[in-house]
């Protein structure tokens, strides 16, 4: 089954404690990205990757890091989380090209206290 | 930059009512347009799309037509069901900036 898998689904952490949210896709997609969803703001892109070892900033990259060492995995790293990073996070993957469908993970609800 | 504006929610309707969720966009060039749906506790999934002007996307009774002259992509369904309750996102693909640009989402609740 084609899918994007994120872990964990829920996470409560404390300010400053490094964390990683994993994302894996099994569709051999070149393009992967991370979004955060906040009420009234829709989804905003954090980082994206067009292929292995190729990553770039989206609209709201501050406080986040990513890596793309393998085509299927695209982890999101928060080196020193802060309360304003409390949000719902989604990983997505797609083929390159306009008009292609993006496949989303089920989301990770992160709370930073 | 490119942007998408959706009608404010939440929207509450009775079963079998007619649904319209408005979406307008600002874009340079010729973006592709999408509607994604998010059911409770799940990720987004593609509902329908249109890749050029005058194209009509359709799926599960929903329709939307890419109107370049009015820069719109309104979502419609003739008779909604309780199972259509979800959050709906209009989006455009902006491959010049390598991303999907989303509207703020519209929460739809259908009462029996």
Residues of B with Cβ-Cβ distance to A101 under 8 angstroms = 46, 49
Residue B98's pLDDT band, with cuts at 50, 70 and 90, is low
Q: How many CB atoms lie within 10 A of CB B9?
A: 16
Residue, of B89 and B9, whose pLDDT is higher: B89
Residue A105's pLDDT band, with cuts at 50, 70 and 90, is very high
Chain A: residue nearest B35 by CA?
Answer: A101
Using alpha carbons, select from B9, B6, B10 the residue that is nearest to residue B91.
B6
Mean model confidence pLDDT for chain B = 93
Mean pLDDT of A29-46: 93
Lowest-confidence pick of A98-102, B81-85, B104-108: A98-102
Contact A43 B102 (CB under 8 A): yes
Q: How far apart are CA A45 and CA A14, in angstroms?
A: 24
Segment 32-91 of chain A within 8 Å of chain B by CB: 33, 35, 40-45, 48, 50, 56, 58-59, 90
Q: What is the Cα gyration radius of chain B? A: 13
Per-residue pLDDT tens over the stretch B40-49: 988 999 999 9
Q: Is B104 left (phi over 0), alpha (psi -120 to 50) or beta?
A: alpha
Q: How far apart are CA B97 and CA B15, in angstroms?
A: 40
> What 3-state DSSP class applies to B84?
helix
Using a pLDDT cut of 70, give the percent of chain B over it.
96
Residue B82 phi, psi (nearest 5): -55, -35
């Amino acid at each position: 089954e084609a899918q994007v898998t994120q872990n964990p689904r829920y996470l409560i952490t404390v300010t400053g404690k490094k964390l990683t949210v994993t994302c894996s896709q099994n569709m051999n997609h070149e393009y992967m990205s991370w979004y955060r969803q906040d009420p009234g703001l829709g989804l905003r892109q954090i980082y994206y990757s067009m292929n292995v070892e190729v990553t770039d900033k989206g609209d709201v990259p501050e406080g986040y890091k990513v890596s793309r060492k393998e085509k299927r995995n695209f982890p999101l790293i928060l080196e020193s989380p802060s309360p304003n990073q409390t949000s719902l996070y989604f990983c997505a993957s797609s083929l390159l090209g306009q008009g292609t469908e993006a496949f989303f993970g089920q989301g990770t609800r992160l709370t930073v206290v | 930059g490119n942007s998408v504006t959706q009608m404010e929610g939440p929207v509450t309707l009775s079963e079998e009512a007619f649904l319209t969720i408005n979406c307008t966009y600002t874009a340079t060039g010729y973006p592709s347009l999408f509607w994604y749906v998010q059911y409770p506790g799940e990720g987004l999934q593609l509902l329908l799309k249109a890749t050029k002007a005058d194209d009509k996307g359709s799926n599960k009774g929903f329709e939307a037509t890419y109107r370049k002259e009015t820069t719109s992509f309104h979502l419609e369904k003739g008779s909604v069901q309780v199972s259509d309750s979800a959050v709906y996102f209009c989006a455009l693909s902006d491959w010049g900036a390598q991303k999907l640009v989303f509207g703020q989402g519209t929460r739809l609740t259908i009462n029996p």
